[in-house]
Structure 1
């Protein structure tokens, strides 16, 4: 549904450029590409359009687009930097699923506990496989959350994108910091996100991980894994 929303937003963008009728090529002018911003599953989406298909023109102009996705950060200046590492598609999906799980529990915010649920919902990521191999399941985590935080008001309706708690935001930024410190290329993965949750020792996510058997030894095992040269999510 979120993807359909994004497509509808894009179709509503009215181009006002003209094509060359003889060649079908796009316009030639010094002005920079148009930019279109939207929200897709809680992630930042930036679509740069350089040539479009205008109305009432028989020829089709080629479309050149670049999509940049980034999860929320307390350091927005990083997003505009070319050196800012990208989040993997699995990490972005896990974040989106975490928001959804927070809404299912009718919580007003997305905390580290919701991010942990999001990791488990997507069973294909490395972090999810590691957690499941160590006895973690979505049902166990949800039960621990209800024990720790309690049930929400049944008549409360969560916002479409429940805002991040402070500890959840710090967990995301920790993951980014660790990737930058490594000096390695590649993407920020679900393993980085899981270790970011573990780094917030007073957060619900850390407490739930600890209650279900996650410890520093397992964290070090994962840290060694992502420290290997050429490590990728897949």
Structure 2
């Protein structure tokens, strides 16, 4: 009997020393009342699951796009124009596409792909109607910029290239100069890309048949009263 009691004590000590992580199931030791075997009270193990303390998932939603000159609307009577929801989503899709291609930056080519990935906006519909599709733009991007190293991983938010930032700033400045009010749209993003003549986005659009005439045709769509980006 002394041997059995000693075995029980050593087992209890072993279980206590191997106490699990708080993120795993906890083991609770419970004595069974007067439950004996060979005259020795035995110890039973009762599993008890614990709820892991997980940090709540938080999604960050941006209601604007990066600008190199946030004080541009500080002049009297000027208001900072707002971006349309589809323009913001297009920007996010462009960042994601840059990451998928494992590029270290978000360039004008990524902004262009983002507009096409969103797909339901006015600019995307116009581009597709004129033969500029996502697959063609993606192929031209790889041809122009090359494939990234397979072992390279892009940052969560690849920084904007100078050309991409200028394209977005062009969109903001153009909207500030207009008197029609409303939001900055995907059309402004495409026209901003087109204004950067040495950028990859401009070169890809030009290769796929986009030109100044089509840019003017696209620009007329945002001058209509009550224009919406859909």
TM over 0.5: yes
2:144 & 2:66 partners in 1: Cα distance? 26
**Equivalent of 2:170 in 168, 171, 174:** 174
State the partner residue of 2:220.
Answer: 224
Displacement after TM superposition at 1:80 (Å)? 8.2
CA contact (8 A) 1:182 1:227 kept: no
State the partner residue of 2:159.
Answer: 163
1:106 & 1:157 partners in 2: Cα distance? 6
**Backbone CA RMSD of aligned residues:** 1.8
The gaps in structure 2 that reach 5 residues or longer are 1-55
- Count how many residue pairs are aligned between Structure 1 and Structure 2: 173
CA contact (8 A) 1:198 1:206 kept: yes
**CA deviation digits over 1:76-110, x for unaligned, max 9?**
23588971010000000000000000000000000
1:93 & 1:161 partners in 2: Cα distance? 14
State the partner residue of 1:71.
Answer: 65
State the partner residue of 2:87.
Answer: 91
**Equivalent of 2:114 in 111, 118, 123:** 118
Q: How does 1:174-213 map to 2 (within 5 A)?
A: 174-213=170-209
Q: Which has the larger radius of gyration?
A: 2
Displacement after TM superposition at 1:136 (Å)? 1.4
| Structure 1 residue 144 corresponds to structure 2 residue 140 | yes
State the partner residue of 1:15.
Answer: none
1:91 & 1:79 partners in 2: Cα distance? 20
**CA deviation digits over 1:21-56, x for unaligned, max 9?**
xxxxxxxxxxxxxxxxxx43xx3xxxxxxxxxxxxx
Query: For the structure 1 residues 80 and 95, does the alpha-carbon distance in structure 2 shift closer, same or farther, using more than 3 Å as the test?
Result: farther
Displacement after TM superposition at 1:123 (Å)? 1.4
Q: How does 1:29-44 map to 2 (within 5 A)?
A: 39-40=60-61, 43=62
TM-score by length of 2: 0.71
Higher relative contact order (CA 8 A, sep 6+): 2
CA contact (8 A) 1:70 1:79 kept: no
The gaps in structure 1 that reach 5 residues or longer are 1-6, 11-38, 44-68
